[in-house]
Structure 1
């Protein structure tokens, strides 16, 4: 009986010692590990419209979770729809002008010009014949100089009219100059650019969440007039989540970019995993937020640690303990 009792006591003793060592390993990193202290650093975004206007709708409240691409707010879009319609009409007008220049004159207009030339030729033949007849009569004294001068003036006028009609026909047949077409093309391009701007302005009446995030603050309410670039929401991005920590110069050689780490908070037993993403090349005095007193007056280097399994329980500014599992004690 006594032997059995001794065995039970021995087993309990072994279990107690093992548990104590396990807890010590949980509370204190293994020998050679580097322990750092820092704070959760979640990036924030201030959402704003690129266009001014009246707020029509605010879709989410503080604390809400939004997904990338969600519409979180809208402006009254009617003024921007009207502007787009006007821009579209200007594009159509410029296109019609260019089409007219590129296609040339209508066949009816060319036929009209040809008819004007034929009429001018007929008039010229008539007055030229009369001028010749009066010239012959004047040479024999049968016609006065006054009648001959009138016939000559009529012929000269007919010559000018015929030349004008022929020039008009030539212009109708040749169409418009390349310079005129190029100018019309430039006006069309300008109108299309204005239409694109109007479409962009209309699209910007919807405020889109750029990434998965949590709404930290809702700054405006429906009905308010907002200026362009005035914040409407403040979002806390859910990915990536960082930890800002600091390491002293003697410990700098024990870490490198990409070194894996584990992160613990005071409010949860969960172990967060991550790696060192950035080591500042510039030393600075230890910020007041660092929890350890032995680093208060030291020069330290800032670290940015990327958390790979972050969840909703990590909050901005939360103090954390970072364990860098390395057996190295200094630079090689």
Structure 2
């Protein structure tokens, strides 16, 4: 049997989501529309936050980077997926495959940490409002942001460096629509237990720490909100957290379902559905969630439109 690694590297073949030509055409149209909405939504969100001075707050500082990560997320996966659906070229080089995987893991780790930072921001804003300007200073926000990108870098470097040491001999066919750890591990002729443990430790630590931070923050937030006497005050407090909670729930449920389990329990159909959700759909949903459910963003859009009309 032929073996190869980074020094002897034939192309991998991405089998994609389906063999049906009709379904491939339907999926390509759906994914293209989703990608266009993702690009417009996330770029639009970044522009709105940059152009409106009233949104220059810690929450929106993190949100603009979340939009950047979501846009990068989708761009890392969707164009190649569309190429596979629309053409007969389903190959991806060894180097491109591992580059795609590195970027994907980096962005996933970064997004987990950004969501944690946003939860901490909401905790300070609601539970310690008088100390909010002091605690959530520009230096603190920059430190949290830098830490988020560093965590993503460590996760992706550890995972890919461990994966790249493997030799692949079983096949060059990846039963997935992008280069992910589980389907790649199944192609290795090495004992992958050590690599699995490394990936599990780094990915699991990031997910667990982020999940604990978010859960703890919102337990304190909920406790504080329930102590508010006025109904309008409770509704206002809940509204500031609702968008973030929805985004966190959708992202984490699909991510945990896919990654916090042994590779031997990898299920092609179920894992692909979850993967489509968090790599293609969620990057589109996030800007919609944070804009449609956010009065401040809506107000910023109105102000920008009026300002533009007034300048004519």
The structure with the largest helix share of the pair is 2
TM-score calculated relative to the size of structure 1 = 0.20
TM-score (ref. length: structure 2): 0.21
Write 1 or 2 for the structure with the bigger share of strand.
1
Task: Identify the structure with bigger relative contact order (alpha carbons < 8 Å, sequence gap 6+).
Answer: 1
Q: In terms of Rg, which structure is larger?
A: 1
